[in-house]
Every structure is written in C-alpha cells, then in structure tokens.
C-alpha cells in the first residue's frame, strides 16, 4: 500500500525540516547498535559568561576582606561595643546627681488657751503659709561605699498666730557623709557593678579575638579547599587526556586487527568515567569557590558574577614542631582560656560581694553645716549663713541586723559553688588545649611524612605507566594493564595533592590551637569597640 508513503510526504511538506549544518555529519546506519553510536559529549569546562569578572586573590587578600566583610565578625564587634558601652555606663554610677525642689504649703489650726482673769478659755487660730526651696548634690565615692549629700535649703513662713501676724525667713546649708562600716565597706554595690561590667567588656574583647581567629582559620581552610579542587581538576584533565589517547590508539589498533574490540570498549569506558569524574571535580570546585566567597564577602548578590582566582603555589615549607613549647603558648595566648580566667575573676568579685551582703549593716553618719533662722528677708538669711553664726553638727550610728538573712546566705553559697565549677571548667579547658596541641603537632609531623610518601608514590606511578606504555607500544602488554596503571597514577596524584593541602590545613589548625594564628599572619588587630 502507498498510503503510508503519501502520509509521510504530506508531513514533510507541513513540518519544517531541521537546518542542515555546514559540516558533514556522520550518518547512522540502522544496523548499528546503540553502543556504536558516537553521541556528542557536553563540554566539561564550563566557560564563564561575558558578565563574569575574575579577581586574582592571594590568601592574605581573602583574609583581609573576610575580616572587613564577614557578617559573623560584624555581629561580634557589635557585641563587643555593647559590652564596652555597658562598662562605661557602670562607671557613671559615681556621677553626682543634682536635686532641686520647691514647695508651697498652707496650714490652719485651732486651739484653746487661758484667756481672761476669770479663767475663761479663749479660742486661738493659726494660719501659716510656707515656701520652701531646696537644692542638693548627692553621690557615691569610690572609697569603700562612702556617700555624700551636699544640700541647701531656704524658706519663708508667714501668717497669723493668736491673731498676731508673723513673717520669718530661714536657711541652712550642710554636708552629710554616710560611711558603711560592715555591709558595703569591702565590696560596695557600686564597685561590684563597675568591676563586673569591666570584666564582661574584657571578656567580650577576647570573644571577638577568638572569633577573628576562627574566621581566619575558616578562610584558610576554604582557600586551601579551593586550591585542592583546582589541582584536582588539573589531575582529572590529565587523566581524561590519557584515557582518550589510549582509547584512540586502541580503536586504531582494532581497525588494523592488532587489538581486540573488548580492549577498545574498556578504553572507551575508562574515558567516559574520566569525563564523569572531571565533571564531579568541577562541581566540587564550584562548591569550594562558593564557600570561600561566603566567608570573604558579605553580600553575595553583589558578587554573584565574580569568580575568585586563588593564587597559591602548592609547595609548603615544613613547620617545626615542639609540643611543650606549643602547649605553653596555648596556655598563655588562647583567647578562650584567657576569657575563662577573666570569668573566674568576675566570679571572685561576685563571691566577695555576696559574702559582704551577709553581714549586718553598720553605717556612720556625719553631718555639719550652718543655719539661719528668724530672719526678715532672704538676703538677711543668706548673710547669716555667710557669717556662720549658727553652726551645727551631727554624728550617729545606724545598726541593722537582718533576722535570718537566708536569701543573702544562699546567694553567697551559690556564688561559691559557681566559682568552684568555673575553676574546674578552666582546668578542663587547659587540659583539652594541651591535648589538642599534642594532637595537632603529631598530625603535622605525620602530615609531612605523608607528603614525602605520596610524592614518591606518584613518581613511581608515573614511571610504571611510562614503562607499561612502552611495552604496549611494542606489543608486549595489553590496554587493560595500561588502564589500571592510569587509574593508579590518577589516584597517586590526587593523594599527593590531598597530602599537600592537608598539611597546610594542619599547620593552620596548630596555630589556632596555640592561639598564634593572628601572629602567623602578622595581624595586629584592635579589638576595642568602634567609636
């Protein structure tokens, strides 16, 4: 029947034929199997778009930008600033306060008094209008809780008393000192608040330093990971080139009858596997690149099209190790240990304050000043004050015994328990730091040995592959053996790269464990709060 042919012709007229390429294409024979068809392979090297910008950056460049842009560091700096402001505010406890007052009052009273000679009681009435003006400066001092109150008062009183008018003006000025002798003497509340706030500020500075060191270590690790990913791509590219060359050579030998078709299939499989592994290497490099960018830049949207070209020669020098010296450095320099020691000092202040609060209160109150009374006018009263014709002084003791005082006693015992806990925590941190340094130095030494071993293994793998390739060229070996040696060489190259980058990371880890990471990068950073 010709109906299918006509149907096909009509479809050809309706549907547009695909444009033919300028270059001739290989026709696919219907007798060929699916395995024999040469499908196009997608590119394994994704090229950057025209909008992408490439920026060459060394490790120090990445660290400098991270210290400037990293969001975690910004947050920690704000925490440090807040702690410093809190310490400054606590010091303001010693700032004096000025109190001003004005009051007007009126009182009316009625009473009786002996009146006439006949003994009749007479009713008396008093009406008084008073004006009072006060001014004073009060505050605390740093001398064992001593407080002061410098005050002045002026007022007038007028009215009638038993139908007799009166109008007098009074004034006084004096200083009152209150000195705790028991509770509040050794550890006054003002000193406790200021010392605690200052210690917390210093602890925040050390927390910022620790965050800076951990950020530098993270940047180093991400930078070396990107270097490793880049070198892995180079290794995979070499492996792909070797696999493709062997596949081409084997295919040519099959065509002339000097090799089996199975050898060609094995070589083609190796080449396909190499392409897949190269794609994995590119994906790993992209992840490592993004990890580094997230540490270096704060706004990923502005650097979306920026590619970092990490510049580093993968040839580390050996770092000398001394576990004892490194341990001493860690105990002296690590910010977490120094912060814990400061926290213990702060807890000691808490213990002293809570112990002092368990004592009874005994306050010495001293006062002295001058007064003016029954003057006609305010100028007369002030003149009387200046002449100091009416001095006065007072002295007294106030003794208060808390009955039971269980709350203060419990707070003291709790402070003691917390201090003991913090001492044990400090000891545990110190022991962990020493163990961490020991492990880091041992890992660094073995890491250097691993570099030498992997370097030798890579050189031997190269020699073995070169010798076996010559045997294959002379017909004394098989492609299968060469394929195996190619895989061994790729593995050896990757192991060497991993050993080199691991050594760099181990050196960074040792510096972090010692607390010398900033010193190693010649960074002298100010951890004081921003103005």
Return the structure tokens found at 470.
């010559």
Per-residue confidence band for 114, with pLDDT thresholds at 50, 70 and 90: low
- For residue 245, pLDDT over 60 is answered with yes
- Residue 17 has a pLDDT of 38
Chain-wide mean pLDDT for the chain?
86
The stretch 369-386 carries a mean pLDDT of 87
pLDDT band at 112 (very low <50, low <70, confident <90, very high): low
pLDDT of residue 42: 37
pLDDT value at residue 253: 87
The model's pTM = 0.76
Q: Give how far Cα 112 sits from Cα of 109, 145, 162, Å.
A: 10, 51, 10
How many helices (H) does the chain have, and how many strands (E)?
11, 8
State the Cα–Cα distance between residues 209 and 211, nearest whole angstrom: 5
Q: What is the pLDDT confidence band of residue 375, given thresholds at 50, 70 and 90?
A: confident
What local confidence, expressed as pLDDT, does residue 70 receive?
86
**Inter-helix orientation angle 189-256/71-91, to 10°:** 170
Out of 9-18, 134-143, 199-208, 395-404, which region has the weakest mean confidence (pLDDT)?
A: 9-18
Q: Which among 472, 491, 489 has a CA at the least distance from the CA of 480?
A: 472
* Mean pLDDT on 257-262: 86
* CA separation for the pair 122, 115 (Å, rounded): 5
Of residues 412 and 385, more confidently modeled = 412
Instruction: Give me the residue label for tokens 């004050």.
Output: 385
Say what the pLDDT of residue 121 is.
58
Least confident piece of the model among 115-124, 142-151, 278-287, 444-453: 115-124
Contacts of residue 455, Cβ cutoff 8 Å, sequence gap at least 6: 496, 499
Q: What was the pLDDT predicted at 14?
A: 39
pLDDT, tens digit (0-9, with 9 covering 90-100), for 482-522: 999 999 999 999 999 999 999 999 999 999 999 999 999 98
* pLDDT, mean of residues 441-449: 96
Per-residue DSSP letter, 304: T
pLDDT at 247 > cutoff 60:
yes
Query: 524 pLDDT band (50/70/90 cuts)?
Result: confident
Per-residue pLDDT tens digits for 284-338: 999 999 999 999 998 888 888 899 998 888 889 999 999 999 999 999 999 999 9
Count CB neighbours of 335 within 10 A: 21
Tens of pLDDT along 71-91? Answer: 888 999 999 999 999 999 998
Name the pairing type of β-strands 164-180 and 97-114: unpaired
Query: What is the Cα 372 distance to its own chain's centre?
Result: 63
pLDDT of residue 299: 86
What does DSSP say about strands 391-400 and 361-375: parallel, antiparallel, or unpaired? antiparallel
For 21-43, the three-class secondary structure string (H helix, E strand, C coil) is CCCCCCCCCCCCCHHHCCCCCCC
**Which of 107-116, 124-133, 149-158 bottoms out in mean pLDDT, i.e. has the lowest?**
107-116
Burial status of residue 201 (CB atoms within 10 A of its CB: 0-12, 13-18, 19 or more): buried
The predicted pLDDT at position 28 comes to 32
What is the C-alpha separation between 343 and 198, in angstroms, rounded?
Answer: 11
Strands 164-180 vs 147-161: parallel, antiparallel or unpaired: antiparallel
53-87+193-347+416-520 belongs to which homologous superfamily? Outer membrane efflux proteins (OEP) (1.20.1600.10)
Is the separation of the CB atoms in 127 and 159 below 8 Å? yes
Query: Left, alpha or beta for 159 (phi > 0: left; psi -120 to 50: alpha)?
Result: left
Q: Residues near 111 by Cβ (< 8 Å), separated by ≥ 6?
A: 123, 124, 125, 126
Q: Where are the domains of the chain?
A: 53-87+193-347+416-520, 97-114+121-140+146-183+361-400
The predicted-structure confidence for 4-53, as pLDDT tens digits, reads as follows 443 333 334 334 433 333 333 333 343 333 233 333 333 434 444 434 68
Would you say residue 160 has pLDDT above 90? no
Cβ distance 228 to 498 under 8 Å? Answer: yes
Answer yes or no: is pLDDT of 379 > 70: yes
d(CA 240, CA 12): 42
d(Cα 169, Cα 234) in Å, to the nearest integer?
Answer: 100
- What pLDDT is attached to residue 7? 39
What whole-number distance in Å separates Cα of residue 148 and Cα of residue 297?
55
CB 510 within 8 A of CB 440: yes
* Rounded Cα distance, 171 and 180, in Å: 29
Which of 28-42, 70-84, 153-167, 411-425 shows the lowest mean pLDDT across its residues? 28-42
**What pLDDT, on the 0 to 100 scale, is given for residue 527?**
62
pLDDT at 8: 37
pLDDT in tens, 50-73: 346 899 999 999 999 999 988 888
Q: Cα(8)–Cα(388) distance, rounded to whole angstroms?
A: 128
Quote the pLDDT of residue 512: 95
* Confidence at residue 475, expressed as pLDDT on a 0 to 100 scale: 84
């Amino acid at each position: 029947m010709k109906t299918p042919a006509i149907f096909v012709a009509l479809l050809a007229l309706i549907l547009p034929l695909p444009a033919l390429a300028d270059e001739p294409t290989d026709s696919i024979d219907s007798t060929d199997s699916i395995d024999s068809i040469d499908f196009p392979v997608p590119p394994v090297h994704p090229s950057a778009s025209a909008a992408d910008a490439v920026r060459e950056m060394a490790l120090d460049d990445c660290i400098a930008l991270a210290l400037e842009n990293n969001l975690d560091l910004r947050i920690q700096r704000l925490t440090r600033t807040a702690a410093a402001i809190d310490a400054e505010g606590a010091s303001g406890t010693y700032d004096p306060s000025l109190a001003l007052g004005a009051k007007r009052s009126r009182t009316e009273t009625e009473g009786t008094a002996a009146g006439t000679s006949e003994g009749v009681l007479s009713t008396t009435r008093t009406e008084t209008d008073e004006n009072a003006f006060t001014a004073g400066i009060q505050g605390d001092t740093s001398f064992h809780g001593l407080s002061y109150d410098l005050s002045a008062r002026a007022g007038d009183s007028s009215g009638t008393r038993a139908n007799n008018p009166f109008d007098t003006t009074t004034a006084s000025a004096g200083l009152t000192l209150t000195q705790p002798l028991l509770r509040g003497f050794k550890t006054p509340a003002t000193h406790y608040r200021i010392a605690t706030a200052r210690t917390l500020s210093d602890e925040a500075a050390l927390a910022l330093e620790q965050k800076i060191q951990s950020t530098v270590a993270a940047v180093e690790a991400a930078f070396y990971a990107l270097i490793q990913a880049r070198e892995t791509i180079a290794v995979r590219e070499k492996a792909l080139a070797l696999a493709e060359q062997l596949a081409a050579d084997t295919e040519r030998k099959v065509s002339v009858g000097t090799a089996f078709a199975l050898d060609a299939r094995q070589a083609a499989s190796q080449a396909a596997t190499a392409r897949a592994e190269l794609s994995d290497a590119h994906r790993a490099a992209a992840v490592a690149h993004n990890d580094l960018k997230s540490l270096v830049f704060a706004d990923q949207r502005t650097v979306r099209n920026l590619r970092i070209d990490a510049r580093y020669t993968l040839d580390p020098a050996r770092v000398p190790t001394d576990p004892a010296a490194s341990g001493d450095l860690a105990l002296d320099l690590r910010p977490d240990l120094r912060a814990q020691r400061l926290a213990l000092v702060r807890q000691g202040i808490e213990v002293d304050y809570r112990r002092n609060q368990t004592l009874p209160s005994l306050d010495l109150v001293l006062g002295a000043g001058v007064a003016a009374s029954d003057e006609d006018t305010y100028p007369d009263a002030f003149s009387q004050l200046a002449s100091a014709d009416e001095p006065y002084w007072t002295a007294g003791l106030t003794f208060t015994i808390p009955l039971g005082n269980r709350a203060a006693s419990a707070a003291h015992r709790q402070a003691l328990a917390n201090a003991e806990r913090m001492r044990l925590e400090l000891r545990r941190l110190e022991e962990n730091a020493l163990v961490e340094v020991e492990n880091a130095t041992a890992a660094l030494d073995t890491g250097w040995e691993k570099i030498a071993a992997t370097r030798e293994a890579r050189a031997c793998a190269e020699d073995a592959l070169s010798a076996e390739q010559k045997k294959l060229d002379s017909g004394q070996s098989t492609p299968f053996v060469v394929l195996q040696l190619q895989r061994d060489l790729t593995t050896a190259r990757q192991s060497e790269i991993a050993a080199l980058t691991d050594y760099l990371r181990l050196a960074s880890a040792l510096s972090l464990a010692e607390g010398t990471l900033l010193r190693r990068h010649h960074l002298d950073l100010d951890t004081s709060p921003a103005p």
